[in-house]
Each structure stands twice: as C-alpha cells, then as structure tokens.
C-alpha cells in the first residue's frame, strides 16, 4: 500500500473490524468516511514517526532552508524599519486664488494651494537639510511669481509625524540634485547612513524607499543591474556613472534613497526610462551614485551652487 506519496509500504494496513462494514461491502470496497478516517490515522502516524525519528538529511536541509529564508525576511524588515524614518515625502504646491478642480487642495500660509507633484528625499544631517532631485523641486527653484511652495512630511526619532515648509538651499541641475531645509528646532531627526557606490557589483541586492504615486513609505527590492550608465540631466547634459537597478522606481520615488543590504545609501533614485510597444511596457531604473552626491551636496549647503559653478 502506498502512503501519502512516500512511494513505499512503510506501515502495515490498519485493520478495521468487519463488524463496522455494511453487509454488502467487501474489505476492498470501503465507505468514503471510513477511508477518510483511515487516511487521517495513517497521516497522524507518519507525522509522529517523522517527529520522533532522528532527523534525516532531507529534513535538515528543509529546516535550514526555512531558517535562512526567515533570516533574510527579518533582515529586510529591520532594514526598512531602521531606514524609513530618514526618508521624507515632498509635495510641490502652487498658491491659487480660486482652485476650480484639483486632486488635492491644502492651506499654506492661510492661502489655498493645489498639489502639483510629489517626490521623495532623505534627511542628510541633524540640522534639517534634505537631499532630493532637482526635477522634484524645479518649479520652486525657478519660481518668478512667488506662488510655489514646498511641503515636507517626515517623522522624528520617536516616530511622531511632522510636516514642515521647506526652502531651497542649493541646486545642481547638471546632476539633478537639490538641497532643501526644514526647521527642526526642538525635534531630533534621523539622518541616513552614507555608503559608497565604488565597490558595488552587478547582481548584489538593493532597496528603494520612497513615495510612488503618493503612497508613503513604500519599499521595493531588486538588484544592481548595471554600473557606469549615462543618463540625461534636467539641463540637457549627461550624468555619468549612474547605477541601473530593477528595483521599481515610479513617479514619486524620485529623490529617495537607493540602499545596500546594510541600509546605507548608495544612490539617489532619479529616473525611469520606459519603452512602450506591442501592448506591453518595460522600465529601466537609475540612481545617481552616492559618491557623486557626496562631492556635490556640501557645496550646495554652503554656497548654494556646485563647486564647478563658483569659478
């Protein structure tokens, strides 16, 4: 008799008294409820046998694989929990007198404003400097009428949600980078941990945290798909050395961090190039390497422009 796919007669059949059989039934033709009961008894016996018997190599391999899977999941959960407080949600606003139609209308300085776009960023230091993409705040940076505003949503170290008006400290369109500043007086924020893109390898894991389509604190995972890519910058130039990844980066992710397995920032998520055709679409995602960011942001904080623009 074969038992539950094990392919061998591990146990002898369990006898069932003929007194329990209908008079017209033969031992080889049993009622379905007796077969069900019989299978349940056999299954319980098999499970007990496996639990009481010494672990086989097969059992040990399964247990080890399950343990490793759980450890990987726990690591990603911890990475998100420890890093997400450093990621902010950015809303671009335009002051309007009589908003006729908009997905969202908010009050800014006692005036009505509509949400023109959203993006992401991350806390650079304890003074409230925030790194994001230039194209996320381009309208504010080029505002000539004083109608543009920027609202940043963040959490402090204790997990309290906050919203602050932000002002632009410096921009570098050549590298699609910008620095905002919010007032953090009286609160403690959590800056990101900075890594390096110089030792990256194609195939290693990476993680993106941001606010795609306005959905806050979204985590996507993937691998480093390519290195040393060249992508266009907002001012028409080229950004060299970009990181290519298959971690999903959608509208609203721009300006958020790309992380390695240690939760360190290795890039700033900046662009997705999509080619549509034959009823399908595929996207290729890119991030500005953190080494480029490290060379640019200090000058933006101090001087408001990149080093090369000062001379």
Residues with active-site annotation: 135, 176, 254
Q: Measured on CA atoms in the order 177, 178, 182, 185, is the torsion positive or negative? A: positive
H or E segment and range at residue 254: none
Q: How far is CA 99 from CA 96, 112, 144, 168, 227, in A?
A: 6, 8, 20, 25, 45
State both tokens at 111. 């005036």
State both tokens at 89. 């949600």
Residue 87 to residue 212: CA distance in whole angstroms: 13
Residue 77 to residue 84: CA distance in whole angstroms: 11
Residue 263 to residue 84: CA distance in whole angstroms: 10
H or E segment and range at residue 81: helix 57-83
State both tokens at 190. 């959590």
Q: By CB neighbour count within 10 A (0-12 exposed, 13-18 middle, 19+ buried), where does 12 fall?
A: exposed
Residue keyed to tokens 């994001």: 132
């Amino acid at each position: 008799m074969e038992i539950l796919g094990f392919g061998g007669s591990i146990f002898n059949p369990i006898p069932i008294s003929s007194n329990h059989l209908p008079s017209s039934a033969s031992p080889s033709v049993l009622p379905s409820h007796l077969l069900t009961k019989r299978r349940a008894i056999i299954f319980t016996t098999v499970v007990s046998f496996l639990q009481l018997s010494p672990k086989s190599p097969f059992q040990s391999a399964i247990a080890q694989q399950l343990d490793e899977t759980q450890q990987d999941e726990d690591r990603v959960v911890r990475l998100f929990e420890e890093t997400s407080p450093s990621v902010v949600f950015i809303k671009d606003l335009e002051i309007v007198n009589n908003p006729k139609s908009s997905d969202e209308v908010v009050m800014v300085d006692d005036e009505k404003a509509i949400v023109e776009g959203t993006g992401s960023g991350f806390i650079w230091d304890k003074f409230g400097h925030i790194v994001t993409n230039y194209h996320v705040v381009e309208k504010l940076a080029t505002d000539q009428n004083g109608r543009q505003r920027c609202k940043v949503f963040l959490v402090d170290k204790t997990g309290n949600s906050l919203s602050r008006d932000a002002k632009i400290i410096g921009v570098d369109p050549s590298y699609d980078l910008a620095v905002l500043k919010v007032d953090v007086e009286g609160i403690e924020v959590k800056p990101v941990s900075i890594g390096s893109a110089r030792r990256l390898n194609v195939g290693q894991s990476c993680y993106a945290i941001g606010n795609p389509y306005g959905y806050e604190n979204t985590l996507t995972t993937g691998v480093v798909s390519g290195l040393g890519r060249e992508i266009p910058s907002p001012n028409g130039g080229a950004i060299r050395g970009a990181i290519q990844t298959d971690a999903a980066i959608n509208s609203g992710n721009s300006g958020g961090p790309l992380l390695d397995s240690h939760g360190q920032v290795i890039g700033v998520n900046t662009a997705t190039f999509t080619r549509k055709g034959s009823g399908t679409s595929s996207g290729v995602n890119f991030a500005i390497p953190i080494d480029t960011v490290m060379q640019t942001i200090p000058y933006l904080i101090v001087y408001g422009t990149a080093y090369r623009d000062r001379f």
